[in-house]
């Protein structure tokens, strides 16, 4: 039956239903006629038939036990009538049973009606008659499956539907009047903005002048002129007025505003006279809430308004002279960002000082300021958890049967939240597509890959700094500020598609930021050793960041990362990439052998370097890099041997990053230093970066996340040593456990117990509620904001949404809000707010580990109810462009496995009593949500075999083989087919 949606939310927005018994459609006269005739037919068949038989024929069976002589008697008309009467009585009994079954299923609304053996046509007739009768006599709510009635007992949830229906009325005079008034308001606002722009603020009195200081970035959110104008002028389009007032005026750091989209924290903006808001400063000399230094800066800035200077564009970061030395890393010229300045600044790098180690502001800033590192770690963690789920489901780890990964706590929970907030998976995806697309284009032109020393990410654009000029780049790449820069705009990168080519520069790794640009150094291309000096703890934080990003990044294929002298074992992050060696002697022995091997392989292949082996005809060789991170300082002969090995390393695809106390290391081609303040200095390279680090405390927390996700590690209490775990949130599945708010997430998103919010915020609030329902342990407000606004948002906007969400969800009868904050500040939902996924998990848990474990009847009923709840994939109708945070979740792997487990348990329940058809029905229902689960197919083969129908079994085998495709039938399934149907291979052609 089609359902209508509010026009304000669009056709793809989530739909709400109030718990009122609203009719599905208006009853017609024909409905009443059908119901009347259905009633007459049911009465005639259920009551009239036995009455007529009793009246006309009477008792058809013999009065006593028949003798053998009775078999020899002549068959009379009376005998024939009595036999027919018995047949009619049996048919009546079967039809009456069908009616009772259909009425029970229709009134209860739970599960599918039981099938009466041999009653195909009779049951269909009974179903049609019952449906026609109940169509008039029942409300819409009575047709909703079981849980749709939750929440109807609370009076506070009953809302009139007249407003919603009025909003759905298209067109009309009222709509035209609204459109006209809106157009007038916009025209008036445009006239006011034009008047402000023409005046330029020159007619203001000195005492009325207001100033705004650009705020430092928070997470991935950065101040922009558009948002400043939106907050303090009421219209983001008035950002041009702010730009005109401040253009080319010298800022406190000596630079000037030359582009509206390029602003820096600490800059001061003169504001129009009608600006408002608590962050503005009107009289600097009398403002008590700002420091004396800021007061002096604002006063000096105010004096510069009458003698503005031009020519400041070249002073903006990146506009200076370019050093032609190829061993000099130069910041590229920045292109103004698009879209009104939103998202134009890079996420800040966090220092390695106490703020990072102490998890300041509630989340570790080191991960918030490392979007590429956070994205790599988050993606690797998701893959590890999915792998653990599949291992558990397929029986590879016998002791762990839980579908729920462990919930992080303490520092691990804060680290996970920081990964969710700081990660930029879209940036990683575009970087990978851009680099592989470049390699593919060069291969088509039969050109070699140029040597790249560094890559810069500035305003979303990618700049590659080459070791030497390499001609014009292939389109859509362009030459940058000189012949050694190739540049790709973000809009061009988004047009790239996946290509089957090797990752050309897997050795790129983030080191830090400089003037809102992020530097990735290509360790593989450095002509020698890269040394890093500084305090041991600071060096270790840089080394750990480099190792973690190389191990988990998304722009590499295969690589080996050898770690020596690391205090924290980082192997759990990527066991296939990372390896630890005990000492420098073992490292030198290993690298001497690999260096000889690579030299011989390159010579035999006829390549001058690994770069020529990654493109062209020899692309299949891949030439994976080997990056050595030596945190302990080598001394004496060991340092000399490393220098000799590294002399030819860049040609062989080997890179060395070595720590040193003194900064004087033999054979060091590039020298860097990490300061106590978190600055990464490289004077000879011309760099002074805000370093990207991973402090020791944060290392432990990140490693803990990966260790807990590993199903094969029983040392920490997880993995094989852990028993099946209960879901994080159990629902009372009895009749007394009806919640106030019930959300259907499995299938079409639907909410029962709440009205649809007005305005354009409805989809946003639905998305926020879905995120909270999938995380009953709580969601950090910054994680919520990052999920809903991936490009960043201000705290006031985030807090306003939380307030509206709290008001929308309402309160429980005891007055407690249904949206709460726990002691750590995470947002949690009350137990009265429930989703069908919560119920699904609870039913399965109760059936297998609760009351159903000791009661066969309870187990069967709960498993059946659970399978009925599965209506499709998670959030099946979610609008395109939203719910991007689901890519970080593992629910897409959890739900099919959970449904498969339910189907398997229900199949086993029926097969214990020999009900093969019921088992097949349950397995087919589960396959609808988990079609690739090998366990379901194997059990379907066994259940079909139990029917004794070989042709049917042959058909199931044919379907399975067709679904397996070119990869073939899995070995275990093939062995099962050989056992159950030895002729399955020869019979496939006949079946197909």
Q: What is the pLDDT at residue 691?
A: 94
Local confidence band at 488 (pLDDT 50, 70, 90 cut-offs) = very high
DSSP string, 320-373: S-----TTS--PPPPPPPSSTTTT-SPPPPPPSSHHHHTTGGGS-HHHHT-HHH
Contacts (Cβ under 8 Å, ≥6 apart) of 225: 239, 242, 243, 260, 261, 263, 269, 340, 341
pLDDT tens-digit readout, 92-109 = 888 888 888 888 766 654
Q: Three-state DSSP class for 817?
A: strand
To the nearest 10°, report the CA torsion of 691, 695, 699, 700: -170
Name the nearest CA neighbour of 753 among 648, 669, 833, 836: 833
Q: Indicate the pLDDT class of residue 376, thresholds 50, 70 and 90.
A: very high
Q: How many C-beta neighbours within 10 Å does residue 9 have?
A: 22
Q: What pLDDT shows up at residue 27?
A: 59
Q: What pLDDT is attached to residue 516?
A: 81
What does the alpha-carbon distance between residue 378 and residue 885 come to, in Å, rounded to a whole number?
A: 11
Mean pLDDT check: name the lowest of 399-408, 505-514, 517-526, 801-810: 399-408
Q: For residue 407, which of 778, 855, 748, 763 has the smallest C-alpha distance? A: 778
pLDDT band per the 50, 70, 90 thresholds, residue 622: low
Q: How far apart, in whole angstroms, are the C-alpha atoms of residue 573 and residue 571?
A: 5
Q: Report the candidate in 446, 483, 476 with the shortest Cα–Cα distance to residue 462.
A: 476
Task: Quick: pLDDT tens for 389-405.
Answer: 777 766 643 334 445 66
pLDDT in tens, 195-246: 444 444 444 444 568 888 888 766 545 677 878 888 888 887 788 888 888 8
Rounded Cα distance, 616 and 610, in Å? 12
Task: Tell me the DSSP string of 489-540.
Answer: -HHHHTT----S---S-TTEEEEEEETTEEEEEEGGG-SSEEEEES-HHHHH
Query: Which H/E stretch holds residue 473?
Result: none
pLDDT at 733 over 60: yes
Quick one: CA dihedral 804, 806, 809, 815, positive or negative? negative
CA gap 405, 889 in Å, rounded: 11
pLDDT tens string 114-140: 677 777 777 778 877 887 776 665 433
Instruction: For residues 18 and 740, give the distance between their C-alpha atoms in angstroms, rounded to a whole number.
Output: 11
Model confidence at 907: pLDDT above 90? yes
Indicate if the pLDDT at residue 438 is higher than 90. yes
Per-residue confidence (pLDDT) for residue 919, from 0 to 100: 93
User: Do residues 376 and 367 lie in contact, with contact meaning Cβ atoms separated by under 8 Å?
Assistant: no
Q: Which two tokens stand for residue 434?
A: 């851009």
Mean pLDDT of 762-767: 91
Q: Which helix (H) or strand (E) holds 110?
A: none
Q: Which letter does DSSP use for residue 47 in this model?
A: I
Q: What is the mean pLDDT of residues 649-662?
A: 86
pLDDT for 201:
41
Name the pTM for this structure: 0.64
Take residue 76 and report the two structure tokens written for it.
């009379």
The whole-angstrom separation of Cα 806 and Cα 816 is 11
- Give CA–CA dist 330/318, Å, rounded: 8
Dihedral of CA atoms 570, 576, 582, 588 in degrees, nearest 10, equals -130
H or E element in which residue 453 lies:
strand 452-458
Closest CA to 696 of 366, 408, 422: 366
Question: What span, in angstroms and rounded, lies between the C-alpha atoms of 455 and 443?
Answer: 21
- CA angle, 763 as apex, 758 and 765 as ends, to 5°? 80
Cα angle at 448 between 442 and 452, to 5 degrees? 95
Q: Encoding tokens for residue 6? A: 């509010």
Phi and psi angles of residue 394, each rounded to the nearest 5 degrees, phi first: -85, 0
Q: Is the pLDDT of residue 717 over 50?
A: no
Closest alpha carbon to 372 in 427, 414, 328, 417: 427
pLDDT higher than 50, residue 789: yes
Report how far Cα 552 is from the mean position of its chain's Cα atoms: 17
**SS3 state of residue 158:** coil
- Measured CA to CA, the distance from residue 919 to residue 907 in angstroms comes to 4
Between the alpha carbon of residue 853 and those of residues 459, 653, 684, 843, 863, the distances in Å are 58, 59, 71, 12, 12
What does the pLDDT read at residue 222? Answer: 62
H or E element that contains 374: helix 371-393
Which sign, positive or negative, has the C-alpha torsion 605, 608, 614, 619?
A: negative
Q: What is the pLDDT of residues 738-764, one digit of tens each?
A: 899 999 999 999 999 998 887 778 899
Long-range contacts of 711-714 (CB under 8 A, 24+ apart): 711/387, 711/388, 711/391, 711/392, 711/396, 711/397, 711/400, 712/391, 712/397, 714/399
Q: What is the pLDDT of residue 16?
A: 42
* Residue of 792, 826, 797 lying closest to 422 (CA atoms): 792
* Residue 237 DSSP class: G
CA distance 49 to 87: 12
Instruction: Please state, in angstroms and rounded to a whole number, the distance separating the CA atoms of residues 103 and 838.
Output: 29
Once rounded to an integer, what is the mean pLDDT over residues 9-14? Answer: 42
Q: Which helix (H) or strand (E) holds 465?
A: strand 461-466
* Nearest in space to 14 (alpha carbons), one of 753, 759, 765: 765
Tell me the residue length of the chain. 992
Of residues 370, 369, 253, 372, the one with CA closest to residue 317: 253
The C-alpha R_g of the chain, in whole angstroms, comes to 36
Q: Which of 168-172, 186-190, 585-589 has the lowest mean pLDDT?
A: 168-172
**Maximum separation of any 2 CA atoms in the chain, in Å:** 131
CB 419 within 8 A of CB 426: no
As given in the structure block, the two tokens for residue 414 are 């804060």
Which of 144, 152, 151 is CA-nearest to residue 869? 144
Q: Give per-residue pLDDT as tens, 455-476.
A: 999 888 999 999 888 899 999 9
Find the mean pLDDT for residues 13-31.
47
In which band, very low, low, confident or very high, does the pLDDT at 561 lie, cut at 50, 70 and 90?
A: very high
> What would the mean pLDDT of 59-63 be, rounded to a whole number?
66
For residue range 950-966, what is the model confidence (pLDDT) as tens digits?
Answer: 889 988 988 888 888 77
- Mean predicted lDDT score pLDDT of the chain: 77
Tokens of 108: 């209860």
CA distances (Å), 946 to each of 728, 903, 950, 954, 988, in order? 38, 17, 10, 13, 20
Report yes or no: 225 and 217 within 8 Å, Cβ to Cβ. no
Q: Is the confidence at residue 849, as pLDDT, over 50?
A: yes
What pLDDT band is residue 613 in, cutting at 50, 70 and 90? low
Q: CA 642, CA 562: separation in Å to the nearest integer?
A: 14
How many degrees, rounded to 5, is the angle at CA 587 between CA 583 and CA 590?
140
Nearest Cα neighbor of 847 from 935, 763, 922, 743 is 922
- Per DSSP, the three-state class of 827 is strand
Residue 249's nearest CA partner among 266, 267, 274 is 267
Lowest model confidence (mean pLDDT) among 38-52, 417-431, 512-526: 38-52
Q: How confident is the model at residue 150 (pLDDT cuts 50, 70, 90)?
A: very low
Helix (H, G, I), strand (E, B) or coil at 713: coil
Strands 654-660 and 626-630: parallel
851/647 Cα distance (integer angstroms): 70
| 425 within 8 A of 715, measured Cβ to Cβ | no
């Amino acid at each position: 039956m089609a359902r209508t949606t509010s026009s304000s939310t669009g056709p793809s927005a989530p739909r709400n239903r109030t718990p009122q018994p609203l009719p599905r459609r208006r009853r017609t006269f024909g409905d009443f006629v059908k119901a009347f005739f259905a009633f007459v037919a049911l009465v005639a068949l259920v009551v009239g038939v036995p009455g007529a038989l009793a009246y006309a024929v009477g008792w058809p069976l013999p009065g006593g036990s028949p003798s053998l002589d009775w078999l020899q008697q002549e068959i009379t008309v009376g005998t024939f009538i009595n036999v027919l009467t018995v047949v009619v009585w049996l048919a009546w009994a079967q039809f009456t049973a069908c009616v009772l079954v259909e009425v029970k299923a229709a009134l209860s609304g739970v599960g599918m009606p039981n099938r009466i053996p041999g009653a195909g046509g009779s049951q269909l007739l009974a179903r049609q008659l019952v449906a026609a009768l109940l169509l008039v006599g029942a409300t819409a709510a009575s047709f909703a499956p079981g849980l749709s009635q939750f929440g109807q007992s609370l009076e506070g949830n009953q809302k009139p539907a007249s407003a919603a229906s009025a909003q759905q009325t298209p067109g009309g005079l009222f709509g035209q009047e609204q459109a006209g008034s809106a157009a007038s308001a916009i025209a008036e606002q445009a006239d006011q903005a034009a008047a402000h722009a023409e005046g330029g603020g020159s007619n203001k009195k000195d005492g009325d002048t207001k100033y705004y200081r650009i705020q430092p970035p928070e997470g991935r959110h950065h101040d922009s002129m558009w948002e400043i104008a939106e907050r303090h002028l009421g219209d983001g389009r008035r950002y041009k007025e702010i730009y005109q007032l401040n253009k080319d005026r010298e800022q406190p750091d000596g630079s000037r505003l030359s582009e509206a989209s390029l602003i820096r924290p600490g800059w001061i903006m003169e504001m129009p006279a009608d600006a408002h808001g608590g962050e503005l400063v009107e009289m600097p000399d009398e403002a008590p809430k700002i420091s004396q230094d800021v007061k002096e800066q604002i006063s000096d800035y105010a004096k510069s308004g009458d003698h503005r200077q031009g020519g400041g564009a070249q002073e903006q970061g990146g506009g200076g002279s370019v050093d032609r030395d190829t061993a000099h890393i130069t910041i590229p010229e920045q292109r103004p960002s698009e879209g009104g300045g939103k998202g134009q600044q890079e996420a800040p790098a966090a220092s390695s000082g106490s703020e990072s180690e102490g998890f300041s502001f509630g989340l570790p800033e080191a991960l918030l300021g490392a979007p590429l590192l956070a994205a790599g770690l988050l993606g690797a963690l998701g893959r590890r958890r999915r792998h653990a789920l599949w291992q558990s489901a397929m029986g590879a780890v016998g002791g762990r049967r839980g579908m729920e990964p462990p919930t992080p706590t303490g520092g691990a929970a804060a680290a996970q939240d920081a990964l969710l907030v700081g990660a930029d998976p879209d940036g990683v995806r575009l970087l990978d597509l851009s680099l592989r697309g470049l390699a593919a284009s060069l291969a088509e032109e039969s050109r070699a890959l140029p040597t790249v020393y560094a890559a810069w990410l500035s305003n979303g654009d990618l700049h590659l700094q080459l070791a030497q000029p390499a001609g014009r780049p292939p389109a859509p790449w362009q030459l940058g500020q000189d012949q050694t820069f190739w540049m790709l705009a973000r809009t061009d990168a988004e047009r790239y598609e996946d290509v089957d080519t090797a990752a050309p520069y897997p050795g790129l790794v983030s080191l830090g930021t400089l003037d809102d640009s992020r530097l990735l150094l290509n360790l593989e291309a450095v002509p020698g050793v890269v040394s890093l000096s500084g305090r041991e703890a600071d060096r270790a934080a840089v080394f750990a960041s480099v190792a973690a990003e190389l191990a988990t990044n998304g722009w590499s294929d295969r690589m080996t990362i050898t770690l020596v002298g690391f205090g924290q074992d980082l192997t759990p992050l990527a066991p296939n990439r990372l390896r630890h060696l005990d000492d420098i002697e073992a490292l030198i022995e290993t690298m001497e052998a690999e260096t000889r091997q690579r030299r011989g392989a390159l010579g035999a292949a006829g390549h001058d370097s690994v770069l020529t082996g990654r493109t062209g005809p020899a692309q299949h060789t891949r030439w994976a890099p080997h990056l050595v991170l030596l945190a302990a300082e080598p001394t004496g002969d060991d340092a000399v041997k490393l220098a000799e090995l590294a002399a030819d390393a860049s040609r062989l695809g080997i890179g060395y990053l070595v720590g040193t106390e003194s900064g004087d290391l033999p054979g060091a081609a590039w020298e860097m230093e990490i300061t106590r303040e978190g600055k990464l200095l490289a004077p000879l390279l011309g760099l002074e970066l805000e370093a990207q680090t991973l402090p020791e405390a944060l290392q432990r927390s990140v490693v803990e996340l990966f260790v807990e996700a590993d199903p094969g590690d029983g040392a920490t209490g997880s993995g094989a040593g852990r028993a099946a775990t209960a879901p994080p949130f159990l629902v009372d599945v009895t009749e007394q456990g009806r919640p106030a708010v019930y959300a259907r997430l499995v299938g079409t998103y639907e909410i029962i117990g709440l009205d649809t919010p007005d305005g354009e915020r409805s989809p946003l609030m639905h998305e926020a509620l879905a995120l909270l329902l999938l995380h009953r342990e709580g969601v950090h407000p910054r994680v919520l904001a990052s999920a809903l606004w991936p490009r960043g948002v201000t705290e006031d906007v985030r807090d306003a949404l939380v307030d509206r969400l709290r008001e929308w969800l309402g309160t429980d009868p005891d007055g407690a809000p249904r949206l709460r904050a726990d002691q750590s500040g995470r947002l949690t939902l009350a137990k009265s707010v429930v989703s069908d996924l919560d119920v699904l998990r609870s039913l399965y848990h109760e059936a297998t580990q609760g009351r159903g474990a000791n009661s066969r009847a309870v187990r069967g009923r709960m498993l059946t109810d659970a399978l009925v709840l599965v209506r499709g994939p998670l959030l099946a109708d979610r609008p395109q462009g939203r719910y991007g945070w689901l890519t970080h979740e593992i629910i897409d792997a959890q739900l099919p496995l959970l449904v498969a487990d339910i189907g398997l348990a229900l199949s086993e329940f029926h097969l214990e009593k020999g009900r093969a058809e019921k088992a097949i029905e349950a397995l087919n229902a589960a396959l609808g949500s988990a079609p690739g689960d090998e366990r379901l197919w194997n059990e379907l083969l066994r259940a079909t075999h139990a029917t004794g129908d070989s042709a049917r079994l042959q058909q199931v085998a044919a379907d399975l083989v067709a679904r397996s495709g070119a990869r073939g039938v899995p070995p275990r399934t093939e062995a099962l087919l050989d056992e159950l149907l030895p002729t399955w291979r020869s019979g496939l052609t006949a079946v197909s």
